[in-house]
Amino acid sequence: MQIFPFDKSAGDVLTPGNLAAIQADGISIRSGNKVLRFTVTEETVVNEDAAIRKELERKFQVHMDELTAKFAEYKTSMKNALDTEKQKLQRSQDELNRRLNAVSVLPAITEAHLRQGLSVAIADRGGFVWSFKTVYAPKMVGNRRIEPEYAKRLVTPVVIEVRTTADNKVHNLTVRQYMGNDKFHHYHKMGNDSDCWGQFKYSGRILNTPDEVITFCKEASFLLEVINDMSIASRNPRGLSRLDTLQKHLLPPDADTSEGNARMNNTNSRNERSGVVANVNADVADNVWSV
């Protein structure tokens, strides 16, 4: 259906104008190939002239009103038809986008990426959802180290989930359970689909390759090693020690942790045998959870 734009100025041509100015051009009669033309030789005042003109104007206005009404009806029907076509076009566009999302090409994940714990899937609403297998292994509360023997109780396999848009921009970062993919409860869990990441600015960050995603997830995993006791979201996360209990198992700031590190290394060796590796970064100097 082809619809032409309505010109609003077209209504001006429907204005009847000044009917009182209408004058006859004369009268002529055709008979065969002969034409008889009448000319005015004398004028006589007719008293009914005003009444005749008024009746003519009334009848003319009736026809004009009918024409205007039909014109308005046509304009309304054309607008409705245009709105219907727009709705059809929008539905077609939505369906096309849905199909395009359904056939989106997954990023090239290699066996090396899988061995590092990375996998990817197409998100339900477009874009991608990345999963990175790691461990939740907090080592410090604020600037104090957790007793190594007690810290090993907190070590839990988890999955860091990163959601990106179709143009590879990060819009969500959460920690989920290793099995079942439910939200993982920890000291900085905010809601069912959000976590507190302190000064870690992840929203809008562009990750163009799987390697960049792995690096990004390792950064997030490293942040989980420090619990900021100044911005706690949950003091009693499900499956972990209460914060008050955890704070009773902190080493003094000036404690020699060489023996504790050895015991922690033994714990890490046990986890390595089961495929669970906690990345230990010895350069923790600042509270990365601060807000």
Q: How confident is the model at residue 283 (pLDDT cuts 50, 70, 90)?
A: very low
pLDDT surpassing 50 at residue 262: no
What pLDDT score was predicted for residue 23? Answer: 58
Q: How many other CB atoms are there within 10 angstroms of residue 241's CB atom?
A: 17
Ordered alpha helix ranges (H), the chain: 49-102, 111-115, 148-151, 210-223, 243-247, 258-273
Residue with tokens 């005042």: 45
Selected residue with higher pLDDT from 244 and 1: 244
Q: Name residues whose C-beta falls within 8 Å of residue 290's C-beta, 6 or more positions apart in sequence.
A: 198, 199, 228, 230, 231
Q: Which of 291, 287, 283, 264 is nearest to 135 (CA)?
A: 264
Structure-block tokens of residue 217 = 């997830």
pLDDT value of residue 260: 47
Element (H, E) at 38: strand 34-38
Model pTM?
A: 0.56
CA-nearest of 263, 158, 273 to 217 is: 158
pLDDT tens, residue by residue, 52-80: 788 888 888 888 888 899 888 898 999 99
CA distance 65 to 155: 84
84-138 pLDDT, tens per residue?
999 999 999 888 877 766 666 788 899 999 999 999 998 888 889 999 999 999 9
Q: ∠5-11-13 over CA atoms, to 5°?
A: 120
* 84: amino acid identity, one letter: T
Q: What is the C-alpha separation between 124 and 98, in angstroms, rounded?
A: 10
pLDDT at res. 253? 80
The single residue listed with the structure tokens 């959601």 is: 163
The per-residue pLDDT for 258 is: 54
Rounded Cα distance, 69 and 66, in Å: 5
Q: Are 133 and 178 in contact (CB under 8 A)?
A: yes
C-alpha span between 114 and 140 (Å, rounded):
30
Is residue 26 pLDDT above 80, yes or no?
no
Q: Name the DSSP class of 141.
A: E
pLDDT tens for each residue of 153-201:
999 999 999 999 988 999 999 999 988 888 998 888 877 777 888 888 8
The closest of 109, 123, 136 to 169, measured between CA atoms, is 123
Residue 164, pLDDT score: 94
Mean pLDDT of the region 15-32: 65
Average pLDDT over residues 10-37: 66
- Would you give the distance in Å from CA 63 to the centre of its chain? 54
